[in-house]
A and B are shown apart, each in its own frame.
Chain A
Amino acid sequence: MQLTVTDTEDPQIIRVDEGRIDAAVAIQFKDAVREAVSPATARVVLDLGAVEFIDSSGLGAIVAAMKGMGQGQRLDLAALRPMVDKVFRLTRMDTIFVIHETVDAARDGRGS
């Protein structure tokens, strides 16, 4: 599971360098995000621009990663590709996360 921290704070931006977040990698993904999140930053953005496919296990892993964050910390999502965006809309998880159209928009703190 490859993640890259591209911005260290305000917000911290974590890029997911994987094409798929599915049942085969859900647990590793959750653990890797938890490890990558800086406890010092209030807002963390997951850059999903490289992710072409997510299933409900992957969705659950993102929720689990969010639950593992500290109080007062927030997990936003950015750059969802069409299929990933569809999964968030169909499960209404798009109402739980702030989703930014681009990483630049996430940096500026604007919603979608």
Chain B
Amino acid sequence: MYFRQIFLLACLSAIVASLGFSLYQFYFVNPLIFAAELYEIAEPVAIDGTPQIETWTPSDAIERSFYTLLANFLMSLAYSLLLACAMVFRGTSSTLKGIAWGMAAYLSFFVAPGLGLPPEIPGMEAADLNLRQNWWFLCVILTAAGLAVFAFSPLYYKGAGLILVILPHLIAAPAAEIHGFSHPDPEAVAKLTELWQQFILHSSIANALLWLIIGTTTGFLCHKFIDYNPDHYNSTFN
């Protein structure tokens, strides 16, 4: 019953990780997003008279926080599921191994794509969304594969891992035509740039914290509930 156990332990890990991440986010990251939104220029309204369809958005601060919490939990659950699967596929787990896996995942999911596509605050100019998402996926997959080759292959092949890690940056992330902010007021641009620098710092810390908690808890729980599970032991060896 690997699936059920991995799902349950990923839920437990996600509850703890999303609580830690959300606390940091609510105090240090969200205020920067809200401050940047004040400078966001409204989208031009269609002038041909077609009625604008209002899409749903959270109506107030409490509702918005609730959906952010929910999204944080689901994202932590997804990350924890992926990490637990990789760890169990690879072999036995422990808290220490979990931390190492978590840090490798932090490099793959945050640091490497962040080098090409730095974390953004609202109001920034950016390249086409689809292109950026495709590059993000490519970068995450190649970095994770590269780190895996680097960690687990014989010495002779470790260079291949390094090539995989560098490859997405040679392909280069899609860049915006205008770099930075298109706000007409230079004072606002200076303020937004300052907010952006703080945002990069705090989102890096928040994500390191997220992966540290996911790695530690997933490693510990996999060790406790999968490595020494009598069901698995009996079904494999009896």
Q: Say whether A associates with B.
A: no
